[in-house]
Chain A
Amino acid sequence: MEEYQRLSLIDPQRVAKLPTPEKLFLFLSCTGSIEYPGTERAVRIVGEKLGIEFIESVDQTCCTGYMLTCNAVNPQLALASTSRNLSIPQEMGLDVGVFCNGCYGYLRELAHLLHSNPAFKEVGDKANEALGRVKYHGHTKIYHVQELWYRQLEKLTSLVKRPLTGLKIAAHYGCHYLANKDVAIDDAQYPTFHEEIYKALGATSVVYKERRACCGYSVGRGFTHREETVLPHITNKMLSAAAAGVQLMTTTCPGCNTALDREQKTITSRGKHVSIPVIDLSQLIAFALGAPVEQLGFKANTTPVLPVLERFVI
């Protein structure tokens, strides 16, 4: 039995509590839509196959987590933006689906602050009032699409058109989803649900040594540009994946995807050759469900994806 399957720490109660909605508000991610537009498309494709219609809004802005993390703004701005952003799906009577761990983490956290502290709520209420919007009441539920896919794993399995037999895939989970310990469906330190999804798609999962290492995005490319700190770290991670025979890596966060995919060029330029395509989990699922390759936006990747996936396209 594979290592990850022994003693899964997935919380079946939390999984069972997840909805199987017909309609969901799709919260767009800045990094996701700019860096890898194929991700957003893939989310829609998988949603369509599972019977989930995604509604978006041009009024939605950035989740502000970005600026909050690097102290570029004071927290009031983040609170006001979140209150405003979440009042949009509230008005539509929809819950929120996100495809970025960052959006997920920040929306969850800021929404919690908004409905647990009256002073914070007032900041949001004032902003909405000034903009002529309705007040945000804090009842909108926020889900990451990866958990909604896992919730319907059986249905996904039955929809596979391109079984990924023999493809060695490794997971990178990302901190900002799993760190939400009270709501994440799996253990923060030893998650295994992505591996279950790979199995459902017919692929082989690989556990590599640095599987649990951070992507380094925030420290490197994201905000502080400390290349000297982060590059050895990512090099280490990617080389350990290569050593374990990983052919493809998936993420559930465009930030992670950016760091792990784009930096491979830098790593190679410093003399350590590595070439492991990194794509979003939703892209992988959409691919296995038979989505046309040209719709999945693999051209946006720095490390070429098609050499690994092309043999599955009939």
Chain B
Amino acid sequence: MLNEGVLVVGGGVAGMQAAIDIAASGKEVVLIDKDKNLGGHVKEYGALFPDLTEGASLVEQKVRIIKNNPKIKVLVGTEVNKLQQVEGALKASFINTGNPQEQIFSAAVISTGFDNFDGKKYGEYGYGRFPGVITGIDFEHQEEAILKRPVKTAVFIKCVGSRDRSKGMPYCSKICCMYTAKQALELKKAQPNAQVYVFYMDIRSNFKNGEEFVRGVMENQHVKYIRGRVGKVIPTNGRLLIRAEDTLMGVPIELEADLVVLATAMVPSQATQSLVTQVGGKLDNNGFILPIPMAESENPMSLTKGVFYAGACGFPCDVKDAMNQGSAAAAGVLSYLQSNRGAAK
């Protein structure tokens, strides 16, 4: 018995894109998300780089397409707890509104996304202790309130978690340089008199128009980029004293701020590990999906037989890239189903 249904685990932008593209060819798709709503992290984001589309409106557009396609069945508030290869097909067990269910699929896409690094792990910055210290994610979630609250000086600290081997994360989270520049721009636009500083290790704006965007924020908005790490944040006189080093000038510097934004890293989501190992895939040292060597796979998003992945469960990526990977995984699923049917006949 050949069941042609496709399972997509994780309804963020990557998973939604994969579901849309697979269903467009007429295949049945079951899209499962553990959250109450589709859209993953992006639904809570404000403007997205590079064209400043609102995260919520992007998610709305995708959800509308999904709702209008009867081929896509959406199960939210549902967690897949088992996914196994069974005789050339995939058996998934999941709990939907308290009811355990099992279903056979012919292919699957894992798009379980990422978690946010816990800013509290840097005691020196006082996240969760000192009022006024927030993460970049908090900035996105509470954007309106933050932009309204008058700020004399704001400080953005990049690479909080990323590229720090002492915190077990040697990798670059890739998106923080861009979203920090974007948030600095938004703050400057809302409060032109605010002094905005960005402390950086390197500026990695390797996206289309990325370099120009960051340059614009520096040159047109006069956001001050300082190369160096912030050593400590110290609450003083109701403000936050920033103690840092300017490594280009080679001098220690101090400044007082009202708002400190930590660009925290993207870390692998917990759901990824168990799913990937159950279907016979592997994780890399950081806990992201270990890709098959390029010359050995037919599709860039292949994981194991009939299983593909997309988005930040593979490695930190921006929204556009997550959607690209969703589409690529969909193409992989479709060609796999086509060749599989050929083999069955």
Q: A residues touching B (Cβ–Cβ < 8 Å)?
A: 3, 6-7, 9, 181, 187-191, 209-210, 212
Interface of B is mostly: mixed
Contacting A at CB under 8 A, from B69-121, are: 120
Most buried by B among A187, A189, A210: A189
Contact with A along B194-236 (1 / 0, CB 8 A): 0000000000000000000000000000000000000010111
CB-nearest residue of chain B relative to A9? B123
Q: How far is the CB of A207 from chain B (nearest CB, A)?
A: 9
Contact with A along B240-256 (1 / 0, CB 8 A): 01000000000000000
CB-nearest residue of chain B relative to A210? B234
**What is the interface residue range for chain B against chain A?**
10 to 19
Q: How far is the CB of B83 from chain A (nearest CB, A)?
A: 32
Segment at the interface with A among B16-24, B124-132, B282-290:
B124-132
Q: Say yes or no: B129 contacts A188, CB within 8 Å.
A: no
CA gap between A262 and B241 in the complex, in Å: 29
Q: Say yes or no: B129 contacts A190, CB within 8 Å.
A: yes
Query: Given contacts A189-B122, A189-B124, A190-B123, is CB(A212)–CB(B232) below 8 Å?
Result: yes
Query: Given contacts A3-B129, A189-B122, is CB(A209)–CB(B234) below 8 Å?
Result: yes
Chain B neighbourhood of A210, CB < 8 A: 234
Partner of B129, one of A7, A181, A191, A209: A7
Q: Say yes or no: A187 contacts B234, CB within 8 Å.
A: no
Partner of B124, one of A181, A209, A212: A212
Q: Say yes or no: B236 contacts A209, CB within 8 Å.
A: yes
Q: Say yes or no: B166 contacts A189, CB within 8 Å.
A: no
Q: How far is the CB of B133 from chain A (nearest CB, A)?
A: 12
CB-nearest residue of chain B relative to A181? B166
Q: Say yes or no: A6 contacts B232, CB within 8 Å.
A: no
Chain B neighbourhood of A181, CB < 8 A: 166
CA gap between A209 and B234 in the complex, in Å: 7
CA gap between A3 and B234 in the complex, in Å: 12
Chain A neighbourhood of B234, CB < 8 A: 209-210, 212
Q: Say yes or no: A6 contacts B129, CB within 8 Å.
A: yes
Q: How far is the CB of B150 from chain A (nearest CB, A)?
A: 25
Q: How far is the CB of B9 from chain A (nearest CB, A)?
A: 32
Partner of A9, one of B120, B125, B236: B120
CA gap between A199 and B125 in the complex, in Å: 25
CA gap between A190 and B123 in the complex, in Å: 5
Contact with A along B128-151 (1 / 0, CB 8 A): 110000000000000000000000
CA gap between A187 and B118 in the complex, in Å: 14
Chain B neighbourhood of A212, CB < 8 A: 124, 232, 234
